[in-house]
């Protein structure tokens, strides 16, 4: 399925999926679709990937997805310059010993290794996007920059869009079965569909200033921070290293609601603001660029309208503190990609796409509230939270970044009233949660169980015992035409063991089941359902679950 889109004539294309927007979320959508063999066209009005260093925090769940998609190594290589930057510092200036670390290390003691085969990665958007673009194209993605969607018409059987090359002026008609709108916070697609938004709206505004300073590295010293919040009363802001040597970014507060214009941020004003914030009056500062950005808390009231689905900033906006927005968008793309692939390949019903809204919208609502609270906690420059909102120290972010759940959607057996974000991180195999990570050996190769989940549903059961779950999976895969894979876990001495957990790890206990039970994991690594013990009618039980989860019948 990796050929370019079917071309009916010079100006008409037919393709299963059209992706509108080629920034971080659109590129991730393209990558994930390409990995699954789904033909698609991506159009982006800009001439290339991002040139501004922003959106740098890729959380552990995002890196798990990139690991399975085969791009983790290249992303880490692109991020090598900032590999040793870990903490968040808050201080009046960088001169002297005042201030405090909000945290020194994102993973103190290496405890994250218990939960994941990977970790956070500090890779700026301008470095990350080219990696995603390269991999998507190598996998057959048809990505077209300098191409703008002029109009679209969504019907019951697909979407017809007209796109224009901004280089040649040529118009092309694209007939797609589905359209994924990753076209940003002011999404024209969302606006045309009349999808409203909920949430408090605008939170604050900043101007992101890129600059060069050779002496600043000496002032910073050995403080390898991700971001430093400078709280000088006359010149607050956030300082971010680009190369830890001479390239830097400074986020300055901007107050358009008070009549302040972008034109007032001259090179001279920005340079002087940075000097005061840093605390060095004669610091060398060469301004190299400025870009305004707006922090908001909004979530679309629906993620699907017929054949059109929203992803990323078109679906939700949230405060940048903690990089929740970009990570949530990438995870939107991953959730949606396998569902589109399943429906287009015919092994899931159209109703599976309704679960995209049911699962991802509550996650965005919970995450955007956490992002705003974190901005208050960190006293983000320009952010004045309403009285009584935030400001106190919050719990860790791992429960939000990795522990979020899907109480509703393509799942079965989730307890009633289960929260989207639990009070504590709990990855014990409950339906609706991300499946547990275990190191296992498969044909002599050491892999994580998370590496098994990408292209099809997976059933885990024991190699010892009757093997009824394994037999049921094989039978139903043929009967329902589902690409269901079944792996049996056991020891080196268990005949038929496909996977052998390291160090005698009790895989069943880690998944919350008895040795005779089974766990059904979706292609995105979330537990769809589990049987806590043996079932005399495994075929019937598993059939009912698959029919429900995949919206069949």
Q: Which of the residue ranges 6-10, 58-62, 302-306, 475-479 would you say has the lowest mean pLDDT?
A: 6-10
Mean pLDDT of 468-477: 98
Check: CB of residue 346 under 8 Å from CB of residue 544: no
Domain ranges of the chain: 1-347, 439-549
Q: What percent of the chain has pLDDT over 90?
A: 79
Structure confidence at residue 324 as a pLDDT band (50, 70, 90) = confident
Pairing of strands 197-212, 40-44: unpaired
Give DSSP secondary structure letters for 379-424: T-TT--PPTTSS-SPPPPSHHHHTT---SSSS-S-PPTT--SS-SS
3-state secondary structure of 131: helix
- In the prediction, which pLDDT does 203 show? 87
With a cut of 50, say whether residue 394 has pLDDT above it: no
C-alpha span between 448 and 442 (Å, rounded) = 10
Say which CATH class 1-347 falls into. Answer: alpha beta
Check: CB of residue 394 under 8 Å from CB of residue 388: no
Could you tell me the end-to-end alpha-carbon distance of the chain, in angstroms, rounded to an integer?
Answer: 26
Which comes out higher in pLDDT, residue 324 or 194? 194
C-alpha span between 247 and 131 (Å, rounded) = 21
Mean pLDDT of 96-111: 82
* CATH no. of 439-549: 3.40.30.120
With a cut of 60, say whether residue 390 has pLDDT above it: no
- In the prediction, which pLDDT does 399 show? 86
One fold for both 1-347 and 439-549? Answer: no
Check: CB of residue 85 under 8 Å from CB of residue 57: no
Task: Look up residue 535 and give its two tokens.
Answer: 């079932």
Which comes out higher in pLDDT, residue 147 or 83? 147
Mean pLDDT of 462-472: 95
């Amino acid at each position: 399925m990796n050929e370019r889109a079917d071309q009916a004539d010079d100006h008409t294309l037919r393709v299963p999926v059209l992706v509108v927007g080629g920034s971080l979320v659109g590129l991730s959508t393209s990558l994930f679709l390409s990995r699954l063999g789904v033909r698609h066209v991506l159009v982006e009005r800009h001439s290339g990937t991002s040139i501004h260093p922003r959106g740098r925090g890729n959380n552990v769940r995002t890196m798990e997805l990139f690991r399975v998609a085969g791009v983790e190594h290249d992303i880490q290589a692109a991020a090598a310059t900032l590999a040793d930057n870990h903490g968040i510092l808050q201080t009046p200036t960088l001169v002297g010993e005042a201030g405090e670390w909000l945290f020194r290390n994102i993973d103190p003691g290496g405890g994250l290794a218990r939960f994941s085969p990977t970790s956070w990665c500090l890779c700026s958007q301008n470095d990350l996007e080219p990696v995603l673009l390269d991999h998507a194209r190598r996998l057959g993605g048809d990505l077209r920059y300098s191409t703008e969607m002029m109009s679209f018409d969504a019907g019951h059987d697909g979407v017809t869009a007209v796109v224009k090359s901004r280089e040649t002026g040529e118009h092309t008609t694209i007939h797609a079965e589905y359209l994924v709108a990753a076209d940003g916070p002011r999404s024209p697609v969302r606006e045309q569909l009349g999808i409203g938004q909920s949430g408090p709206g605008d939170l604050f505004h900043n101007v992101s200033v890129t600059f060069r300073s050779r002496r600043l590295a000496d002032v910073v010293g050995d403080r390898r921070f991700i971001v430093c919040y400078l709280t000088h009363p006359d010149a607050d802001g956030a300082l971010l290293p680009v190369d830890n040597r001479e390239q830097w970014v400074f986020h300055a507060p901007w107050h358009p609601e008070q009549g302040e214009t972008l034109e007032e941020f001259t090179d001279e004003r920005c340079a002087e603001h940075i000097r005061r914030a840093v605390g060095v009056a004669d610091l060398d500062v060469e301004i190299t660029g400025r870009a305004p950005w707006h922090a908001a808390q909004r979530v679309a009231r629906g993620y699907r309208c017929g054949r059109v689905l929203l992803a990323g900033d078109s679906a939700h906006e949230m405060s940048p503190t903690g990089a929740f927005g970009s990570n949530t968008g990438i995870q939107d793309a991953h959730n949606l990609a396998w569902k589109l692939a399943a429906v287009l390949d015919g092994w899931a019903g159209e109703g599976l796409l309704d679960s995209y809204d049911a699962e991802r919208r509550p996650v965005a609502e919970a995450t955007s509230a956490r992002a705003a609270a974190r901005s208050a906690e960190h006293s983000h420059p320009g952010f004045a939270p309403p009285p009584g909102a935030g400001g106190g120290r919050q719990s860790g972010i791992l429960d939000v970044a990795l522990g979020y759940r899907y109480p509703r959607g393509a799942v079965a057996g989730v307890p009633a009233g289960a929260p989207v974000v639990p009070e504590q991180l709990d990855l014990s195999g409950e339906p609706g949660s991300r499946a547990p990570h275990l190191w296992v050996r498969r044909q002599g190769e050491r892999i994580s169980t998370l590496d098994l989940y990408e292209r099809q549903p997976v059933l885990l059961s024991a190699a010892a015992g009757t093997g009824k779950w394994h037999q049921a999976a094989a039978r139903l895969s043929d009967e329902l035409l589902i690409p269901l894979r079944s792996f049996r876990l056991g020891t080196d001495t268990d005949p038929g063991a496909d996977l052998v957990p390291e160090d005698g790890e009790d895989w069943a206990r880690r998944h919350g089941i008895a040795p005779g039970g089974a766990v059904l994991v979706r292609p995105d690594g979330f537990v769809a359902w589990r049987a806590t013990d043996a079932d005399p009618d495994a075929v019937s039980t598993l059939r009912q679950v698959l029919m429900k989860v995949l919206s069949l019948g």
